[in-house]
Amino acid sequence: MTGRRSGTIGSGAPRTRRSGPVTATVAAALLLVGCGGAASATRSTHPPATTTTTTVPPARRVPPGPPSDQRTLAVTDTISGPISPKSVASSSTGLIFAQNMMYRHSVTVYNSAGALVKTIPDSVTLSDFGVTGRPGVTQGAPVEAAFTPDSRYAYVSNYSMYGAGSGPEGSDSCTPQSAAAAGDTPSFVYRIDLHTLSVDQVIQVGLVPKVVAVTPDGKYLLVSNWCSWTLSVVDIATAKEVKEIPIGPYPRGIVVSPDSTKAYVAEMGGSAIHVIDLATLSDVAQIDVGRGPRALVMDPTGRYLYATLNQAGEVVKVDLTDDQVVGRVAVGEEPRSLAIATDGLTLYVVDYDDDNVKALRASDLSTLQTVPTGVHPIGVTYDDTTGDVWVAVYTGDILVLSGAPSP
């Protein structure tokens, strides 16, 4: 891919430029995630039932230092190499996953210091997991990742599958009918064991899955299927889809209430955020927020939801006590991904066409800072072990922004 900028990005301390991956052992990763030892991979789509957990998740941890809205971010590291990151996601235990789509057919895993821990290929032999009709080696195209509440596993969606028995590559412009006519086939979500950093389970979902989310109680995996226009609800204990809920054109962002009673799904082809009752697994309401809702996050209390509006170029704030929009701000051209600090005070939004990342104060959506990123920033995550912000730049870099106390 072309168009990568060179030179200093942002302000503050000079960055460290990596011309390629930094080798690190998986053993180092095990120390970081605090795991007790490697576990054997489960080679089945019918794994033993897992125990649902209600433990406070690692993602609720607040890093030491000043509050997030009192930090000034500067690019302190740029990670490059054989990557084309569509998204980045923090495990909340010192690992960052980057999903590199079909351009690299990999998930690259880094520690909080920016060292490459492992490159996980997206190649699997589906028959090893009990899948029939797709013989030989199949590749995926990793899009987004989400972690179980205890950060024991990661789930990674695949835009399309490539191999015998798989249909053609998916499309960003599709209907369920056009996708079926094109011969598209269901895709799979991979489960990655954070002990071994390898794929140990596959789950069939819909056509062109995008965002994945795990309910805080560990019961369900939720997957937005871009071309099926549905939300897949997967029972984590059985690794089976138990419901496919119609959403409308181009479902994408997903967020779940802290008590796991409701999920919120962005309908990017319209203007609604759908409210899903997780007790009945039904679509019970829609919140009209504006054109092209894409990414969703929620504050730690569960009262406020925030969304990027890709078409309108805005971020909106919704009070979930009455489902009313209580804040709206223009941020730039094609705002894409959104992250929130674990203290709930700061939002981080990437402007795809304006080539920057913005820090917004969550209370009033005012801009705290704008940092240039290079061409086409697309993903963002908050590392709650350090307070750093990681930005995926589609043209082939990952930026690490560290925060010092504001003067």
Query: pLDDT tens digits, residue range 326-370?
Result: 999 999 999 999 999 999 999 999 999 999 999 999 999 999 999
Query: What's the CA gap between 173 and 24, in Å, rounded?
Result: 40
CB distance 219 to 148 below 8 Å: no
Identify which of 22-26, 114-118, 402-406 has the greatest average pLDDT. 114-118
pLDDT tens digits, one per residue of 33-51? 333 333 333 333 333 333 3
Mean pLDDT of 68-87: 97
* Mean pLDDT of all residues in 275-283: 98
According to DSSP, residue 104 is labeled H
The pLDDT tens digits for 97-117 are: 999 999 999 999 999 999 999
Round to the nearest angstrom and report the end-to-end CA distance of the chain. 38
pLDDT band for 59, please (50, 70, 90 cuts).
Answer: low
pLDDT of 295 reads: 98
Structure tokens at 2: 């072309």
pLDDT of residue 57: 58
The encoded tokens of residue 336 equal 């894409």
Torsion of CA 144, 300, 214, 139, to 10 degrees: 10
According to the model, what pLDDT value does residue 17 have? 40
CATH homologous superfamily of 54-405: YVTN repeat-like/Quinoprotein amine dehydrogenase (2.130.10.10)
Which residue from 241, 178, 208 is spatially nearest to 101, judged by alpha carbons?
208
Task: Tell me what pLDDT residue 298 has.
Answer: 98
Contact 155, 188 (CB under 8 A): no
d(CA 364, CA 254): 23
Question: Mean pLDDT score of the chain, rounded to an integer?
Answer: 88
**Whether pLDDT at 133 is above 70:** yes
Chain-centre distance of CA 175, in angstroms?
A: 23
Residue 313 sits at the vertex; the CA angle it makes with 310 and 316, to the nearest 5 degrees, is 85
d(CA 331, CA 393): 18
